[in-house]
Amino acid sequence: MADIDDEELPPQDALDLIARDPNKINDHIRGYNCILRRSEDVVDFDDVLAEADGTHSINCVWKGSHKCYMCGKNFCYNMCTFFMGIFISFYWGMMFAYITFIHIWCCTPVMRMFVLQCNMMQKCCGTIVNCFLAPTAEACGLFFSNIVVHNS
C-alpha cells in the first residue's frame, strides 16, 4: 500500500464558519421571499409581519418592531443552540453511528445472504424448467408447427 502524506489529506477539523450549509440541506427552512432575495436570514421580518396599504403604524413603531423581531429571533436561536446544540448534535451523531452499525453488521450481511439464496433458487428453477418444461414446450411446438391455416 502506498504511503499517503498527511499534507495530502484534507484536515478533518477544518470547519467553514462562514458558509455553514455548503450542501444547501436546509433550504426548505427558508421563507419563499428569502430564497428569491438570496437573503441569509431564515425567515425575515417581511415574511412574518406586513401592513396592508392604508393601514400603517407609526414609522418608529414599525422600525422598533423590526429590531425587536430580529433581536428576539437571533437571541432565542442563539440560546437554544447554546444550551441544546451540543447535546442534540451528540444525539444525532449517535443515531447515525447506530444506523451505520446496523447497515454494516446486519443489513448488508442479510442482503448478501438473500442474494446467495436467490442465486441458488434461480439455478434450481432453471434446472426444473430445462428438465421438465422445455421438452414439453418443444414437443408442443413440433406438434403445432404442422398445423396449416388457410384463409378463404
**Residue 45 near residue 64, CB atoms below 8 Å:** no
d(CA 32, CA 38): 10
The residue segments making up the domain with residue 84 are 49-144
d(CA 14, CA 19): 12
State the pLDDT at residue 148.
85
Residue 18 lies in a domain: no
Residue 92 lies in a domain: yes
Burial of residue 135 (CB within 10 Å: 0-12, 13-18, 19+) is exposed
State the pLDDT at residue 41.
54
Res 92 pLDDT > 90: yes
Q: How many folded domains does the chain comprise?
A: 1
Res 40 pLDDT > 60: no
Mean pLDDT across the chain: 83
What pLDDT band is residue 28 in, cutting at 50, 70 and 90? low
Closest CA to 49 of 35, 67, 36, 37: 67
Residue 24 lies in a domain: no
Residue 15 lies in a domain: no
Residue 66 lies in a domain: yes
Closest CA to 46 of 59, 34, 38, 57: 34
- In this structure, the number of other CB atoms found within 10 A of the CB of residue 28 comes to 7
Residue 13 lies in a domain: no
Residue 96 lies in a domain: yes
Residue 42 lies in a domain: no
